[in-house]
Amino acid sequence: MAKPLIAIRQLRYADLLASYLTSQYIDVTVVHDAAQDQYVVQLHNEQDMDKALAICHAFVKAPNDPKYQQAAWQHSERTDVITPSKPTFDTKRWLIWLRRAPFCGSMLFICTAVFVLSFLGLFPFIKDQLMIQPLGQLAQNNQWWRLLGPAFIHFSMLHFVFNLLWWCMLGGRIEHKLGSSFLILLFVITAVVSNLAQLIAAGPNFGGLSGVVYGVLGFVWIIGWLRPTWGINLPKPVIGFMLLWLVLGYVDILWVSMANAAHTAGLISGCIIAWMLHLGSGNKASPAQ
């Protein structure tokens, strides 16, 4: 049962404190006390009480210490505020998710906008602006954004929904734990590597976020194995399903055309990034320190 730690008048400060406590692996919730018009930070695990109280005392003395804002920024996190007398709406949950994973949400918005505009008849224009081109042509026109361009293009509703669901689930988890900057870097590397691989293997006529999706899958798979305490992982059956889907693409028995080179290159690049992060983190128990 949750126990109150501290009551704070301003939501901004309650949010900062809760974010910092969360960064220290202390599970808390902010509850709005409407009668007193204040926000109560509640602790879920009594074993953390002494450590949590010490942090609260330090926060009261210096609530504007940059380390609290830094913790909230690094985690791209806002603690959900529970109002007991009011139901929680799905819209609110989406807004909280977007606050925690802004880059992941931005990619969802961009891909959705591109897909809708394509459906409305603007696909020729979008293809002309985003489709990748042979490297010799890129070297002449310097339109290097096209190395990322195919990731935003989807050719069917199934293609779009499949990729964006996986992106939101995996990308959101990575961004929540490791921050927006890391997810942006992971996206750029896996997108460029997978798109170049598919370009070399089959030419420029392809699109989709699936190379990046396999990149983040590979990252979650390996980092979950190497650093299980970080809390970035997937159940083995889910990973097995995605790997089976990759193999089926090479067997060529599916009803859709698969960008096999993009999928494979994305997966390998994601695995390598996870391995490099593991080595670079040394003996750190968690990325949140």
Of residues 134 and 288, which shows the higher confidence score? 134
pLDDT on residue 75: 52
* Per-residue pLDDT, 90: 55
Give the pLDDT score at 254.
Answer: 59
* Active-site hit among 75, 176, 263, 269: 263
Of the chain, the percentage scoring pLDDT greater than 70 comes to 85
Q: Is residue 94 part of a domain?
A: no
Give the pairing of strands 81-82 and 3-8.
unpaired
Mean pLDDT within 57-67 = 84
Sheet holding 3-8, edge to edge: 3-8, 38-43, 28-33, 81-82
Query: What is the pLDDT confidence band of residue 92, given thresholds at 50, 70 and 90?
Result: low
Q: Are residues 148 and 263 in the same domain?
A: yes
Q: 275-287, pLDDT tens digit by residue?
A: 999 998 876 655 6
Q: Which one from 210, 257, 269, 278 is the annotated catalytic residue?
A: 210
Banded pLDDT at 199 (limits 50, 70, 90):
very high
Whether pLDDT at 85 is above 70: no
**Same structural domain for residues 143 and 38?**
no
Q: Which domain holds residue 228?
A: 101-280
- In a domain, residue 286? The reply is no
Helices (H), the chain: 11-23, 49-61, 66-74, 90-100, 102-117, 123-130, 135-141, 157-166, 172-178, 180-202, 210-226, 236-251, 260-280
More confident residue, 249 or 178: 178
Q: Indicate if 57 belongs to the active site.
A: no
Looking at the domain assignment, is residue 287 inside a domain?
no
**What is the pLDDT averaged over residues 138-161?**
93
67, 89, 111 — which closes off a domain? 89
| pLDDT for 76 | 45
Whether residues 246 and 202 share a domain: the answer is yes
* Whether 114 and 17 share a structural domain: no
Q: How far apart are CA 195 and CA 172, in angstroms?
A: 22
Domain shared by 210 and 170, yes or no: yes
pLDDT band for position 28 (cuts 50, 70, 90) = confident
Of residues 90 and 164, the one with the higher pLDDT is: 164
Say how many domains are in the chain: 2
Residue 78 has pLDDT above 90, yes or no: no
Catalytic-residue membership of 263: yes
pLDDT averaged over every residue in the chain: 85
- The phi and psi torsions of 34 (rounded to 5 degrees) equal -65, -35
Tell me, rounded to whole angstroms, the distance of Cα 124 from its chain centroid: 30
Residues 18 and 1 sit within 8 Å (Cβ to Cβ): no
Residues 148, 117, single domain; the answer is yes
For residue 167, give the CATH number of its domain.
1.20.1540.10
Each residue of 232-272: pLDDT tens digit?
A: 888 888 888 888 878 877 776 655 667 889 999 999 999 99
Range with the poorest average pLDDT among 1-10, 109-118, 139-148: 1-10
Please report whether residue 96 resides in a domain: no
Q: Which residue is listed with tokens 């490791």? A: 178
- Better-predicted residue by pLDDT, 2 or 193: 193
The dihedral through the CA atoms of 221, 222, 227, 230 has a sign that is negative
